[in-house]
A and B are shown apart, each in its own frame.
Chain A
Amino acid sequence: MPEVRIIDVSKSYGKITALSDISLEVHDGEYVCIVGPSGCGKTTLIKSIAGIVQPDRGEILIDGKSVSHLPIEDRGTGYVFQEIALFPHMNVYDNVSYGLMVRGESPEERKGTVTEMLDMLSIKENSRFYPAELSGGAMQKTAIARALASGSTLLLLDEPLGALDVKVRTVIRHELKRLVKELGLTAIHVTHDQEEAISIADRIVIMKAGRIVEVGPSDELYLNPSRIFTAKFLGEANFFVGIVEKHVGKTLNVKMGDTTLSVRKREKIDLEPNDTCVLAIRPEFVKMVHRDEGNRLNALKGKIVEASFLGDLMNYIVEALNGLRVQVKVQISEEEPDIRVGDDVTIVLPEEHLLIYRHPSEGLEKELALE
């Protein structure tokens, strides 16, 4: 039985549609991240599950029971929401142990769980502080600890790490995931940070303009996204427009200017000769090869027009002879490659990494827009 089932939920604010016929199932024990650009409806969706927002239409079931008419406190969820503050008159320790106390655990029973939470989130030294004495980051960690210790099996987390510095966030997110799994909880986590979602989610829900674009495990969505917007939003990608030339067995020939690329066919996409299509490839899958290998499949000759050192990566922009601008990322594991701006290079777009899509009817630019 799925833990949470959302059926055809819609919500409008005046003329603005925040959610449009959303249906989604979150399974027992699953960690689901909801991502999308600001204004996509992700916060409205999680607030509808929590009971902070009342949908106009549709139904939400938790453990098979409709919760549509239940207020937030009766839905049996633990939550972290920006607008739901810590109890101001309680110190950190008491805030975190509140849920266990309500469930009738004795102070001795509570101590172990609370101490573990505080320790894991490194706020033990703050345990006697009151919320007003905490930094934004420490408040947020306390709210997470309180949610984890609430005894609820469903956690609703709205930007739970948003107030933390990047460096701290990348550490805490794994701790959060680990604890959710160890405690056997189900979590729905809204984040604007696609990297956070990729690294911790069992499944990612991508939203745009009040609708769900795509749902799937993070590696599947990253490596083989069904939708152009997914390729854009999760990680970086190069996009090119081309024209289908012909079918060649399991591949398609796609023409871009005077270049023909070979692309593996994908299921569920039926493209015919002369159809306009969009090709996408992630910058780390573009190969920089020796100039002599220019006759390889999908090889393009070009010039480096930008080169920047990013620490673990080199980021290049290559202007190909056919006019394409291609972003290429090369991981530096030993020494950075000796390639500079102005150098002639050959790049290969491996056919197994080229993604092909039907050209969107409303135009590519609109499809890729983040705001």
Chain B
Amino acid sequence: MSVSFLLRRLFYGLILMVGVVILNFMLIRLAPGDPAMVIAGEMGGATDEILAQIRTDYGLDKPLMTQLWIYISGVAQGDLGQSFFFNQPVATLIAQRVLPTILLVITAQVLSIVIGVFLGVIAARKPNGILSGFVTVVATIGYAVPVFWTGIMLIVLFASIIPIFPVDGMQSMRLRGASFWVQALDVAHHLVLPALTLALIYLAQYARLSRASMMDVLGSDYIRTARAKGAGERAILFKHALRNAALPILTVAGMQFGNLISGALLVETVFNWPGMGRLAFDSILRRDYPTIMGVLFFASAMVVVANIITDLSYRWADPRLKGQ
């Protein structure tokens, strides 16, 4: 049952990805100007030779449907095109940068959910308490602060005032060649500020959401039943209530994943984090379209995967969905 659900979900994800590929294809052709010139990019040194190369590679002299077919089958074989600026296959470029982005995004997601939900649960116990007020205020502020600006402010704070965390890049040059654990620790050290920056906005939102969701759940009949059994306050909050309050939180966590990737784009730029966001920024400045499209494709694939994981965990969390 669950396997067929997973297969159905994967198939649907595949269709979405084909959609992204078609969209990429159409965008290049919708852009003003000669597609070959567009693909070559402004900085690519669009010599006649390169343009001719592109026209054969992409079949630009053939009918549109054939071009689409060439493009899709290329992507299916892992060929996302050639970056004329970096002079490398796009797939290679992305492969080098996908792990840092995943590391950043997942760390931020976990941090924001764990801390945010914890704060929200505690705040829900006293709807008019100090912590509740604090959560509301922080959520309102956190929502209004541009994430890149938070990052820059943290750089000021940690670069000049309390220099305990590195503010640039992912690794220290001097540790090249050190043992794995030393390097891993170094990466974690570099990860603190970017992940915190990215987590801060969502943390506040999760706190507000889980507070509201918990307050909703805490008023329900089955919580009263749990009290009538003699269950303790902690069991009521973290066992009886949170399992139910987690459902809307999960939904939002899934929907936020795309926004998180967008945020990562900005944060990577601020902290020089060598991920896909940084790559997107560099390639957009150079109008390196194959790379931009590759990043868009890959980032969308990450969202699709995240959605599938969300759906699965939702079904795990809510027994009412299992039979369906």
A binds B: no
- Interface residues, chain A, CB within 8 Å of chain B? none
